[in-house]
Amino acid sequence: MPSLIQKIEAKTARVVVIGIGYVGLPLVAEFARAGFRVTGLDKDAEKVRLLNSGESYIADVPICDIAPHVKSGLLDATSNAAVLTEADAVIVCVPTPLNKTRDPDMRFIVGAAEEIARYQHDGMLVILESTTYPGTTTEVLVPKLTERGAVLGSTVFIAFSPERVDPGNLVYKTKNTPKVLGGASPECLHVASALYSHILDKIVPVSSTETAEMVKLLENTFRAVNIGLVNEIAMMSRKLNVDPFEVIRAAGTKPFGFMPFFPGPGLGGHCIPIDPLYLSWKLRTLQYQARFIELADSINSAMPGYVVERTSEALNDHGKAVRGSKILIYGAAYKRDVSDSRESPAFAIIHGLKKRGALVSYMDPYIPELNEDGVALKAIDRGTHFGSFDVVVIVADHSALDRDRLMREAELIVDTRDALREYSGNRQKVYGL
């Protein structure tokens, strides 16, 4: 019988990806493109149905990356975990949210580990891709998958490799983004590298799974802290009557030693607001306070409130109160040109404005309705006259926003993204962050 490494080299290894969301779907598409027989295992019956009918439900993954492989029989999806019995390689891409007390919610990783253990057989490779605290692979996966006698690096191979998917990025996709990989033993790293070398241009091996876990948290903490810094620069600049975006763009001309980050209405998405808190939580268990992370979190979390303040100020300058004003939120997504509203600052801004008595609507070409976090709204038509609102607040600066029309029609604008910098017209009515 061929060994696992032989099967991987011959591309006869059967791959199962647990969780076919933003991270898992591009991954199954890459494995199928490379010629592997791959199955997406997901509890979400709708995702399974769509994938099996050759459709994509994630904007970054075009149908042409899915449909031909479903047709050829290389790619399919299921909700039945028994498919793991046939798996040679299992890649775990399940969510890692926070719970109500903002601590790591490990339910999905633990659940996936238990399912794999239930169908485990000799010669299995398991790679965790979900972002999590350093130590998860050795503390959760390794004990679970060796408790019934499997030998690490011999009959079971375990690794961690953080995903670096950047939704909406037109240049860097799964294949051409270098991938950090740490094995639970040298043999585990060797087998996992052999698999990934079929689908990725560059692998960056590191010495342990903890290192690989920490790499991801450094990357996202770096972003969260720098965004926290420029958000505070924005608030300080306004007090000094200086335009923070102009300051940052000018500083960005320095060809060395400076990297521009831009302020905004608050963090959003599945990664930057959440992942650093996995690290600070882990450090708390070691009696260490992750001060940069906590400070950045407190500044970034306060930004939606600051946007509410700026909007009140803008209305007040024009002789209006927030109470009773008609306010349009443009863009409910957490960032430009994506249809993802998870953790979007739009929710807190809508809550804050409503609490002050505003009549809030939203427009977003990618998100037809909002129904989470206590906000239930349907998007208004994209052609609605901007002048029918007392103020328009730009939260996500989608490319689809007709900026000329907005400048012409709107009475007052709060531009939290500096989306109108290049647009002429009455600048007096545009309030920056």
Ligand X SMILES: NC(=O)c1ccc[n+]([C@@H]2O[C@H](COP(=O)([O-])OP(=O)(O)OC[C@H]3O[C@@H](n4cnc5c(N)ncnc54)[C@H](O)[C@@H]3O)[C@@H](O)[C@H]2O)c1
Which residues of the chain form contacts with ligand X (CB under 6 A)?
Answer: 18-24, 41-44, 47, 93-96, 108, 111-112, 115, 129-131, 163, 165, 167, 270-271
By beta carbon distance, the residue nearest ligand X is 21
CB of 117 to ligand X, least distance (A): 12
Distances (CA, A) of 326 to 158, 181, 313, 393: 55, 51, 15, 11
Q: Which is nearer to ligand X, 23 or 328 (CB)?
A: 23
Catalytic site positions: 271
Q: What is the CA radius of gyration of the chain?
A: 24
Helix H segments across 263-319? 275-284, 291-317
CB of 62 to ligand X, least distance (A): 17
Q: Which is nearer to ligand X, 20 or 375 (CB)?
A: 20
CA–CA separation, 162 vs 130, rounded Å? 7
**HSE-CB of 274 using CA atoms within 13 angstroms:** 21
CA proximity to 151, closest of 120, 105, 175: 120
For tokens 């149905």, the residue is: 49
CB of 313 to ligand X, least distance (A): 34
Q: Which is nearer to ligand X, 69 or 164 (CB)?
A: 164
Contact between 13 and 88 (Cβ < 8 Å): yes
Report helix, strand or coil for 152: strand
Q: Is 295 exposed, middle or buried (0-12, 13-18, 19+ CB in 10 A)?
A: middle
Report helix, strand or coil for 70: helix
Sequence-distant (6+) residues with CB within 8 A of 124 are 4, 87, 88, 89, 90, 116, 145, 155, 156, 157
Contact between 122 and 150 (Cβ < 8 Å): yes
Q: Strands of 359-363's sheet, edge to edge? A: 359-363, 326-330, 391-394, 413-415, 430-432
Q: Which is nearer to ligand X, 42 or 390 (CB)?
A: 42
Quote the tokens at residue 42: 């997901």
Contact between 116 and 126 (Cβ < 8 Å): yes
Q: Which is nearer to ligand X, 20 or 267 (CB)?
A: 20
CB of 393 to ligand X, least distance (A): 25
CA–CA separation, 139 vs 136, rounded Å? 5
CB of 256 to ligand X, least distance (A): 29
Distances (CA, A) of 56 to 29, 80, 82, 210, 351: 10, 20, 24, 33, 33
Contact between 61 and 85 (Cβ < 8 Å): no
Q: Which is nearer to ligand X, 44 or 243 (CB)?
A: 44
Torsional sign, CA 315, 319, 325, 328? negative
CA–CA separation, 215 vs 419, rounded Å? 32
Q: Which is nearer to ligand X, 20 or 333 (CB)?
A: 20
Q: Which is nearer to ligand X, 26 or 352 (CB)?
A: 26
